[in-house]
Every structure is written in C-alpha cells, then in structure tokens.
Amino acid sequence: MLKVDNIQVYYGAIHAIKGISFQVEEGKIVTLIGANGAGKTTIMHTVSGLIRPQSGSIAFDGVDITNTRAHTIVEMGMAHVPEGRRVFAKMTVKENLEMGAYSRKDKGALEADYDMVYSRFPRLKERRKQLAGTMSGGEQQMLAIARALMSKPKLMLLDEPSMGLAPILVDEVFNIIKDINKSGTTILLVEQNAHKALSIADCAYVLETGNIVLSGDAKEMLDNEAVKKAYLG
C-alpha cells in the first residue's frame, strides 16, 4: 500500500530525515514511535505531499508519488489527520466534513457517508451547525478524524491523535482507530503514547533523530527491553 524508500528531508540546513525506509501493508495498522523532534511529523508531511524529500522515493498503491502534489494525493485515496487537529475553526462542523469530501467525485454517495460518520460520532451530528473552533479538544479530534473519513481513504495517516486528551478519550480514540481499520482502511499512526500505539498496531518502527533504529512486530516490541526503557517508561 505504501512504500517509503530511503528518503532524506531537509529544512534549509537542518537534516531532519536521514535516509528512512519503511512499508505499510494493506489492511494493517503500522505505527511510528519516537521522542519529540525525532522526525515523525516530518515523515507524515513528506508522505502526504506537503513537503518534498531531497532524495529517495515514495510509492502509494504501486504509483510513484514522490513529486505528486498534496491535493492530488488526497484524490488517490490517502487522508492525513494532521498533528494538532487543524480543523477549520471558523467553519461549521458540517462544513468541515464537506471539506473532507472535497476531493470526492461520487457526489451521489455523500449523504450515506455523512450518515455513517454521524452514527460513528453522534456528537458531531448534534453539533453540525456549530463552529468547529468552539468545540472541545476531544470533539475537535473526533471531527478531524471524521473529516478524513469523508474522503473515503484507502490509507489514513494519523499524527498524534491522542495528544492533549483526557485518558478516557484517549481510549475512545484508539478504539475508533481500530474500528476504522476493521472496516478496511489501512492506518499509519504516529504516537507519543507508545504503549497504546503498540498495543493496537501490527507492526512498528522506532525513530530516533531522523533514523529508524528498530522495526518489527508491535506486540514483540511491547516486550522489548530497550523499547520499554526508552518509550514505555
């Protein structure tokens, strides 16, 4: 589904990603874990086309997307729930969902998908006429995920979806991610909450200052001594 091959990313002189390769297989939940500043968000931005790698290549569904623009990648079936939610604060909940469906060509099926999203997130239905900026952090996170779902993605990137949420909401968010995966969407998940991420993921990569230092089965990593010490506290 996604194949990242030896990408290097710079911000000016800062060498943020130093030759990273990984794969996301169809139907799986894959997680990238790592400390602050390791380069997780940079990888997500590079995959979804917001920034370009200096070298290396990215293939999505067998198509090279290394130099494809972000808005085209969305149309190909990748949705990115960015770090910090980034909902459109001055637009209503419904309008945010409409923006999520912006790239859709099959207008006929939209109504059914709004219903699907509303039944998964009943709170959003109640609040559909409210401005997104006036909702709580948890509600905004749900909206960000729902908005991404509206594009009917094959692959969904989630960048720290549990950030800043109360523990009970964290569980809810992880349940929703599992659910979305079960209904057929492949997931690439970035998390600080390594324990939670590893417990729902199939496969994991550990990132340290722009390099992958460890990769493998997520459940095995939960028991890995080094990982335990560094990321599971």
Partner 1 sequence: MNVFVQQVINGIHVGSIYALIALGYTMVYGIVRLINFAHGDILMMGAYFGLFSITIFNLPFGAAIIVAMLVCAVFGMLIDIIAYKPLRNAPRISALITALGVSLFLENLFRVLFGAEPKKMPNVSSLQGHISIGVIKISYVTVLTVLLSIIFMVGLQFIVKKTKIGKAMRSVSEDKEAARLMGVNVNKTISITFALGSALGALGGVLYSVAYYQVEPYMGMMPGLKAFVAAVLGGIGIIPGAMLGGFVMGLVESLSIGYISQSWSNAIVFGILILVLLFKPAGILGKNVREKV
CB-wise, 32 or 101, nearer to ligand ATP? 32
Among positions 2-21, residues that touch ligand ATP (CB under 6 A) are 11, 14, 16
Cβ burial, residue 130 (10 Å; 0-12/13-18/19+): middle
Cα separation, 71 vs 122, in Å, equals 29
Among positions 87-146, residues that touch ligand ATP (CB under 6 A) are none
CB-wise, 27 or 84, nearer to ligand ATP? 84
Cα separation, 164 vs 86, in Å, equals 14
Cα separation, 158 vs 30, in Å, equals 10
C-alpha 212, offset from chain centre: 18
DSSP 211-223: EEEEEEEHHHHHH
- Residue 224 CB neighbour total at 10 angstroms: 18
Stretch that binds ligand ATP, among 38-46, 101-109, 131-139, 149-157 (CB under 6 A): 38-46
The answer to whether 114 and 58 are in contact (CB under 8 A) is: no
27 binding ligand ATP? (CB under 6 A):
no
48 binding partner 1? (CB under 8 A):
yes
116 binding partner 1? (CB under 8 A):
no
42 binding ligand ATP? (CB under 6 A):
yes
Cα separation, 96 vs 44, in Å, equals 21
Return the closest-CA partner of residue 55 out of 22, 7, 21, 107. Answer: 7
Per rule CB under 6 A, count of chain residues that contact ligand ATP: 13
Per rule CB under 8 A, count of chain residues that contact partner 1: 25
38 binding ligand ATP? (CB under 6 A):
yes
162 binding partner 1? (CB under 8 A):
no
Q: 66-85 mask for partner 1 (x: CB under 8 A)?
A: ---xxx--xx---xx-x---
Choose, by CB under 6 A, the member of 34, 53, 82, 161 that binds ligand ATP: 34
Structure tokens at 125: 């239905």
65 binding ligand ATP? (CB under 6 A):
no
- Residue 53 CB neighbour total at 10 angstroms: 23
Return the closest-CA partner of residue 19 out of 34, 7, 2, 35. Answer: 7
For Mg ion, the binding residues (CB under 5 A) are 40-41, 83
For ligand ATP, the binding residues (CB under 6 A) are 11, 14, 16, 34, 36-42, 83, 192
For partner 1, the binding residues (CB under 8 A) are 48-50, 69-71, 74-75, 79-80, 82, 86-91, 95, 98-100, 102-103, 147, 151
